[in-house]
Chains A and B, each alone.
Chain A
Amino acid sequence: MDATVLGAWVATGLTLFIFSFLYKDNPLFKLAEHLYVGVSVGYTIVKAYDTVIVHLIIKPIFEQGQISLLIPVAIGLLMLTRYMPKAAWMSRYAFAFIVGLGSGLAIPRTISSFILKQVEDTVRPLLSQAGEGVTFSMSLLNPASNLNAIIILIGVSSVLFYFFFSIEHSGPGKVVARTGIVFLMIAFGAAFGYTVMARMSLLIGRLTDLIEFSDASYGHPTLWLLIVTVAALVLLARRRQQEPPAAP
């Protein structure tokens, strides 16, 4: 049998096993799920070995004599002491280095990209130059228009205010906080719509594959395996009925 054809059968089978969870949690799903974890962990290990050990450590050290790379190797090895209770404290050096480096790198870059840049773009003139005079552009569709600049300003400030914790939301503050929550909900709505879109796309992708694999050139794996899966589910359900119910 051709490797691709066999692959089509395996892929189809595993896809259907996972989909069987929709009916209920069952051994076929658990099998596929654990296989998934196993295979992806194995994959990660192989990739880490090949990329890190072979290409980033062994080759540079032995072929180019970059002895200094032994330092990160030592730090990395220290990290693995976490699983030896007596020496576990040594792993702290590794974490101290990584976390310190990460925090240090983060501070100026976060200020630059997520605070200054964002503030800079929010601070926009509420009037725009048109020839000699100044005008107020009303177009909602142009995100850079003055009207939208005002809306963005209101949105940013009211949401920032909503997440103020040292001021009571009362009086005029209450109005601002209410505006903030309306803005928040609209943004969550947009995220909701987009997430629905994303999940549906995933389903579309999987079904496209299943349709592709139902082709005669593969020997109709989708059809046959669907029958097998359903039969297995029925069988399993029968067997469970005969067993005494397990204690909760």
Chain B
Amino acid sequence: MAFAERMLKIDRRIIFLVIGLCTLLPLLYPVGLPIKISPEVRSVYDYMESLPERSVFLLSIDFDPASKPELHPQAIALLRHAFRKDLRVVAMTLWVSGTGMADQLLTQVAKEMGKENGKDYVFLGWSPGGTAVIINMGQDLYTAFPSDYGGKPTKGIPVLEGVHSLKDVAYAISLGAGNPGVEAWYVFGKDKYKFELGGGCTGVIAPGLYPLLRSGQINGLIGGLRGAAEYESLIGQKGRAVAGMDAQSATHAAIIVLVAICNIFYFSLRSMARG
């Protein structure tokens, strides 16, 4: 058996170990390489900056724990920014298994920034129906969510004063891990009810959202952990995403090296077979 062939047949658990170490070591011993800001993340940040105080900011947390590592840091960075700008935050989720996480992260950031439930923010919770919820909120927010997460009637909550439907939202961001997510918020929400929409998403679906970004259907896009790291650097509060960037660098380097080795062996085997 040729060397290349033998090398290709090594136990894959060795590769597992390599990738595990590439992740673990930079997390334990961070280097802190600088992060460049991409225009699509910056436009989300700039739009948030341009909003006047007490504007209504809707954050739809459309992911479940499976995408937590990517989207949770995005949500935290966005909430910190919104609270710092003193926006009125309305949070919700279209993904049932994301409810607990959304509640937790909202409470945590609000506590950290000294914000009060009902006065500065409200968590509407989850409602089934996906796109139907979006349409219904566009028509009348109070029929879509008769009560907030805590069971309080939404009518009369101070933070929702003057808010009847999605038309009264100044900026909405959907942090989506799939469907319903950013696309649904455009098709069933922004398209008709005319609020500005931004998107945050996992790396897997980010490339698919670029046509919407190009055509201005969403005004910005935060993609994956990298996007979260960019946003964390923009607001100057580094968190989990920035901390993970070194590990991300190391694993990408590892994958690139592995792909290169794979192809070197592949081509050497092929030329041997021909020769």
Contact = CB atoms under 8 A, between A and B. Distances in A.
Chains A and B share a contact (CB less than 8 Å): yes
Interface of A: 22-23, 40, 43-44, 47-48, 51-52, 55-56, 59-60, 105, 109-110, 112-114, 117-118, 120-121, 143, 152, 187, 190-191, 194-198, 200-208, 211
Nearest to B223: A194
Interface in B216-252: 216-217, 223-226, 240, 243-244, 247-248, 251-252
Given A201-B248, A208-B240, 7 more contacts: A194-B224, A197-B226, A198-B204, A200-B251, A208-B27, A208-B243, A211-B24
B42 to A, nearest CB: 14
B263 to A, nearest CB: 14
Given A59-B146, A197-B248, A203-B251, A40 B191 contact: no
Contacts of A152: 214
Contacts of A208: 27, 69, 240, 243-244
Contacts of A201: 69-70, 203, 224-225, 244, 248
A206 B70 CA distance: 11
Interface in B77-95: none
A234 B118 CA distance: 54
Contacts of B68: 205
A101 to B, nearest CB: 9
A198 B203 contact: yes
24 contacts: A59-B146, A113-B217, A118-B215, A120-B215, A143-B214, A187-B207, A191-B208, A194-B206, A196-B255, A197-B203, A197-B248, A198-B204, A198-B224, A201-B225, A202-B67, A202-B70, A203-B19, A204-B27, A204-B69, A204-B244, A204-B247, A207-B24, A207-B27, A207-B247
Contact of B203 (A59, A187, A195): A195
Contact of B215 (A121, A194, A207, A211): A121
Nearest to A141: B39
Where chain A touches its partner, the secondary structure class is helix
Given A204-B27, A206-B69, A208-B27, A197 B225 contact: yes
Contacts of A43: 96-97
Contact of A105 (B70, B99, B131): B131
A105 B138 CA distance: 14
Nearest to B225: A201
A204 B20 CA distance: 9
Contacts of A40: 97
A194 to B, nearest CB: 4
Nearest to A203: B23
Interface string B18-40: 01000110011000000000000
B245 to A, nearest CB: 9
B147 interface: yes
A113 B186 contact: yes
Given A194-B203, A194-B224, A204-B23, A55 B69 contact: no
Contacts of A105: 131, 135, 188
A140 B241 CA distance: 30
Given A187-B207, A194-B203, A197-B226, A47 B16 contact: no
A113 B70 CA distance: 27
B128 A202 contact: no
A126 B207 CA distance: 25
B165 interface: no
Interface centre among A114, A196, A201, A207 (most CB of B within 10 A): A201
Contacts of A204: 23, 27, 69, 225, 244, 247-248, 251
A23 B13 CA distance: 7
Nearest to B127: A51
A187 B252 CA distance: 18
A104 B203 CA distance: 31
A112 B217 CA distance: 11
B180 to A, nearest CB: 12
A105 B162 CA distance: 29
B176 interface: no
